[in-house]
Each structure stands twice: as structure tokens, then as C-alpha cells.
Homo-oligomer: A and B are copies of this chain.
Amino acid sequence: MAHDPALAQDLWRLMMQSAMSQVGRASSILQQLGLTPGHMKAILSLRPGEPRPIGTLAQGFGCDASTMTWLVDRLEERGLVERRPDKTDRRVKAVALTPQGVRMKKKLEARMFEVPESIAGLKPDVLEQVRDALALAMSRAAENSSMASAAH
């Protein structure tokens, strides 16, 4: 149950605001690297030396197989991934990062997960408090949403 509606409302507004600003930040990074959101999602979900079939990727994206075919075409044009035949089942095409794709993944992650000075500069005790409280809130939110999807 709620202890102080106004306080919780303030915090929630701030969390939404920070979410929005991080979306903006991400899209600016992508623009600088010449990538689309689709490129990013694919590059981040592929790991060097771990090719994944088109169907598996599509499932992870929550999109259609034909959409993934289209996206992989775009990534291949850019030289970031390549299709590899599967030894045991010749119907499946595994998507693998090229060396260039691996370099782009590193560059992207470095920019994406770089801690802004505004965060890094906070005092350790403040950092710790926010981290712990946010972690708590997130874990409770995860419980709720999993309950919601289970009920669905």
C-alpha cells in the first residue's frame, strides 16, 4: 500500500522522464554511428562466435520471420553479419557477426553503456542508495509484470 502518494508520484515522473531522455540519447548515438534501431537490436543480440538462426532471432525480436530476413539483408549489405549454412539442417541459415560487425558491436556498446558524468560524479553513498532502491523497485515490477502475463 502507498505511504505518500505525492512522493511516489514525483519519483515515478522522474523515472519516466529519465527513460525518455535515455531513448533520445540512444537515438543520437545511433545516428552518429550510422545505424538504425533495427541494426542496433540485432548487433546487441548477436555474440561473436555464436551464430543464431533467423527464426530464433525473429522470435527474440517479437517480429515476423520475413521481417528478420529483410533486416538481415540490410545488415549483410553493410557487411556487419553473414548468413552461414547449418551443417545438420540445411533449411536453417545461421546469422553471424563478421569481424567488422564485432568491431561495430564493441563501439556501440562502449557508447551505449558509457556512464554519463552526471551519474559517475554522484557521491558513493547516494549512488548506493539509488542503486539499491531502484533494484528493489525493478525486482518488484518484474514480479508484477510476470504475474500479469501469467494471468494473460
Contact = CB atoms under 8 A, between A and B. Distances in A.
Count of identical protomers in the assembly: 2
A44 to B, nearest CB: 11
A150 interface: no
A4 interface: yes
A133 interface: yes
B19 A130 contact: no
- Interface size classification for chain A: 35 or more
Nearest to A130: B133
Interface of A: 1-5, 7-23, 25, 113, 115-124, 126-131, 133-138, 140-141, 143-145
Nearest 5 interchain pairs by C-beta: A118-B140, A19-B19, A118-B141, A2-B120, A130-B133
17 contacts: A3-B120, A3-B121, A3-B123, A3-B124, A8-B122, A11-B131, A14-B131, A17-B138, A18-B19, A18-B137, A19-B20, A19-B22, A21-B141, A25-B145, A117-B144, A122-B133, A126-B136
